[in-house]
């Protein structure tokens, strides 16, 4: 039995609002520790800032080294009770911004707005999660569902190293809260995300002199043009299917029939059925130009996050708690992927629990403090809530 009753929603929000300057200070330190995904050595400072905060909150922190990334953190309460169900706070501390971005895009705090590289995506989300955990301690409330924290440093480049850790944790969790920023300035939570596929088409033809003997060649560029038309014909915007040929390359010089060409394709779908259908259709494309051959490689690397029954149950729980905070929550479909795409295959997942603001991956990146603190209060109440389901495994 919990030694302290669950606090009123208004008391949770008031406490977090009183920690506004603490949030700004932590966010400043995290933002000024630049952490681009493609520089693993730059991840140590931000990792240790977060680890120190978790240590202070009496969490036991496990540092998982990376071979091609800056590694990961997995933390859980030092005094956790064995056998209890678990819940996961999931995020990443890498950013898309290169080292030196602070020179032109410094951390700035003015009124209710905080600007800087990564404040919205997603260092603000990590800061508010740490604040939510501090609220649990402030109210002396021990959640019935033990909170775990898992943060990686390669999400922005596909979570290639961390995915297996995430997928090993997810089945053991009653629910997962993803600290990605909310959807747009309205602060909508992300209850669905598109699945993402990446494919590369390579065309091999036959070189020949374009003026002296063009008939002796087989143009890889001509064949690629046919392939591109076939790919664009797969678009179905009403179903949320987008097929985009993002880059093309090929040929040797203007007076040579091109012996080789290549295209890289981004594919996004709203559901797994469309993913299976599109993947089969792309891999089945055959050459239309005599003398050419195709090599098509790729797959769907992130499955779609769909509105599963478990996900809907968690969303409705959030709406109920939002009402207690005086928030009218909205939901939305995100075209981009996150690590929530992986966890949603195994357990209830609610994404977009992070900062409220705008400008992810853009120079106007910023968060709105007041709204972000409201999301921190919502996360706190969700962490305090009873389990969604009976667990058969603990970690």
Reduced 3-state DSSP string for 234-270: CCEHHHCEEEEEEEEEECCCCCECCCEEEEEEEEEEC
Residue 394 domain flag: no
Residue spans of beta strands (DSSP E) within the chain = 59-64, 72-77, 86-92, 108-110, 113-115, 146-152, 173-178, 189-193, 195-204, 242-250, 260-269, 293-302, 331-334, 348-350, 357-358, 366-368
> Same structural domain for residues 284 and 318?
no
> Same structural domain for residues 232 and 129?
no
> Same structural domain for residues 281 and 345?
no
Q: 190: closest CA among 313, 377, 333, 315?
A: 333
Among positive and negative, which fits the CA dihedral 308, 393, 133, 64?
negative
Overall domain count for the chain: 2
Dist. CA 45–CA 33, nearest whole Å = 6
What pLDDT, in 10s, does the model give residues 343-381? 999 999 999 999 999 999 999 999 999 999 999 999 999
**pLDDT for residue 91:** 98
Residue 309 domain flag: yes
The domain that holds 247 is classified in CATH as 3.30.70.360
> Same structural domain for residues 67 and 187?
yes
> Same structural domain for residues 279 and 323?
no
Q: Is the bond preceding 335 in cis, omega lying within 30 degrees of 0?
A: no
What pLDDT, in 10s, does the model give residues 44-62? 999 999 999 999 999 999 9
Q: What is the pTM of this model?
A: 0.91
Q: 332: closest CA among 193, 158, 218, 197?
A: 193
> Same structural domain for residues 80 and 201?
no
Its domain, for residue 221, covers 195-302
> Same structural domain for residues 18 and 85?
yes
Q: Are 183 and 120 in contact (CB under 8 A)?
A: no
> Same structural domain for residues 225 and 340?
no
Mean pLDDT across the chain, nearest whole number? 95
Q: Are 175 and 386 in contact (CB under 8 A)?
A: no
> Same structural domain for residues 276 and 318?
no
> Same structural domain for residues 310 and 166?
yes
Q: Are 147 and 87 in contact (CB under 8 A)?
A: yes
What pLDDT, in 10s, does the model give residues 105-131? 999 999 999 999 999 999 999 999 999
Q: Are 342 and 303 in contact (CB under 8 A)?
A: yes
């Amino acid at each position: 039995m919990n030694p302290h009753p669950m606090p009123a929603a208004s008391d949770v929000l008031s406490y977090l609002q009183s920690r506004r300057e603490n949030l700004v200070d932590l966010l400043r330190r995290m933002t000024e520790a630049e952490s681009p995904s493609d520089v693993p050595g730059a991840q140590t400072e931000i990792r240790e800032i977060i680890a120190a905060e978790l240590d202070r909150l009496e969490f036991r922190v496990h540092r998982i080294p990376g071979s091609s990334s800056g590694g990961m953190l997995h933390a859980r309460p030092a005094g956790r009770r064995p056998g209890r169900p678990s819940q996961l706070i999931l995020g990443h501390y890498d950013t898309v911004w290169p080292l030196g971005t602070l020179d032109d895009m410094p951390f700035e705090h003015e009124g209710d707005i905080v600007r800087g590289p990564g404040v919205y995506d997603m260092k603000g989300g990590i800061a508010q999660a740490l604040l939510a955990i501090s609220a649990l301690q402030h109210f002396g409330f021990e959640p019935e569902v033990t909170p775990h924290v898992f943060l990686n440093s390669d999400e922005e480049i596909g979570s290639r190293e961390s995915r297996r850790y995430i997928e090993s944790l997810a089945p053991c969790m009653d629910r997962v809260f993803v600290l990605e920023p909310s959807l747009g300035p309205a602060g909508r939570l992300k209850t669905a995300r598109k699945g993402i596929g990446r494919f590369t088409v390579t065309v091999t033809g036959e070189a020949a002199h374009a003026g002296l003997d063009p008939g002796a060649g087989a143009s890889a560029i001509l064949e690629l043009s046919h392939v591109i038309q076939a790919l664009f014909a797969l678009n179905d915007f009403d179903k949320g299917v987008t097929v985009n040929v993002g880059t093309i390359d090929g040929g040797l010089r203007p007076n040579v029939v091109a012996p080789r060409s290549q295209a890289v394709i981004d594919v996004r779908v709203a559901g797994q059925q469309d993913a299976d259908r599109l993947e089969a259709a792309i891999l089945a494309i055959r050459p239309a130009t005599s003398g050419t051959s195709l090599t098509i490689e790729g797959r769907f690397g992130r499955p779609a996050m769909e509105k599963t029954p478990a996900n809907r149950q968690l969303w409705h729980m959030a709406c109920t708690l939002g009402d207690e905070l005086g928030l009218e929550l909205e939901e939305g479909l995100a075209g981009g992927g996150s690590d929530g795409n992986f966890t949603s295959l195994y357990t209830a997942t609610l994404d977009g629990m992070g900062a409220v603001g705008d400008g992810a991956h853009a120079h106007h990146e910023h968060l709105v403090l007041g709204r972000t603190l409201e999301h921190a209060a919502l996360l706190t109440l969700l962490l305090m809530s009873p389990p969604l389901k009976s667990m058969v495994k603990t970690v």
